[in-house]
Amino acid sequence: MSGYQEIDPCPYGAANAPPNLGRARQLIKQAGAEGEAVRVLGSSQPEPKGATEYLADVLTQIGLKARPRTVSDEVYGGLVSSAKTKAQAGLIAYFPDYPRPSSFSVLVSGDSIRPTNNLNAGNIDDPHINRRLARADRNPNLDAVTRDYAAVDRRLVSEAHLAPYGQRKLSVFFSDRVDFEDCTVWHPVFNLDYAGPCLK
């Protein structure tokens, strides 16, 4: 997507390096949080449920007392983002509505925080991010603001406002009768163009 720039070096260390659990335990101790209870929220769908349980396990390994809580997709979004829930940790998967970085802005802008129906589930309210998004989202010339979006992405990760953990893969199966090679169109945002497939 336009506006993406690889964050190199990654502030979390090399992707293939083993995790430094000892350092993480030390940081938890220094923060005075050892033994603190943490509820990790997630969807009960198989993939997010596994990721939620894994995150809770890792948090326990570094000195917290974490327990996963998974709920159905129908209520998860409202639960994790509601101010009443006071969510401590959770996993969010998001598909952009259109191929422009501003589709993600509502997820990280302090201006979008609400007591309920809050799309900014992490309640991220960083003045630097808010300013850059306000400027970039108003500008119709995407080429002029790609640096702003890249800077927001870099700050979100380096300040640990959020931690990207993966990208979901979507599969589509076709009958042998469909001419997959010549008449199917797959778009990274809009997915399969159903007007495209044709029979051999």
- Please write the tens of the pLDDT for every residue from 90-112: 888 887 888 889 999 999 999 99
What's the confidence (pLDDT) of residue 157? 92
Among 89, 60, 103, residue whose Cα is nearest residue 163: 89
What's the confidence (pLDDT) of residue 135? 94
Domain extent, residue 132, equals 21-169
Q: Looking at the predicted structure, is the pLDDT value of residue 169 above 80? A: no
Domain match, 85 and 134 both: yes
Residue 70 lies in a domain: yes
Among 18, 21, 17, 33, residue whose Cα is nearest residue 57: 21
- CA 188 centroid distance within chain: 16
- pLDDT range class, residue 119, cuts 50, 70, 90: confident
Measure the CA–CA gap between 57 and 47, rounded to whole angstroms. Answer: 16
Domain match, 50 and 126 both: yes
Domain match, 105 and 191 both: no
- CA 9 centroid distance within chain: 20
What's the confidence (pLDDT) of residue 184? 84
Question: Domain containing 121 — which CATH number?
Answer: 3.10.105.10
Domain match, 71 and 124 both: yes
Report the percent of the chain where pLDDT is more than 70.
99
The model's pLDDT over 42-75, given as tens digits with 9 standing for 90+, comes to 999 888 899 999 999 999 999 999 999 999 988 8
Question: For 70, left (φ over 0), alpha (ψ -120 to 50), or beta?
Answer: beta
Hey, what are 57's tokens? 């396990």
Q: Give the count of domains, the chain.
A: 2
Report the predicted TM-score, pTM, of the whole model to 2 decimal places: 0.79
Domain match, 79 and 174 both: no
Domain match, 25 and 106 both: yes
- CA 112 centroid distance within chain: 16
Hey, what are 89's tokens? 């940790």
- pLDDT range class, residue 181, cuts 50, 70, 90: confident
Q: Looking at the predicted structure, is the pLDDT value of residue 162 above 80? A: yes
Instruction: Annotate 27-94 with DSSP letters as a single string.
Output: HHHHTT-TT-EEEEEEESSHHHHHHHHHHHHHHHHTT-EEEEEEE-HHHHHHHHH-TTT--SEE----
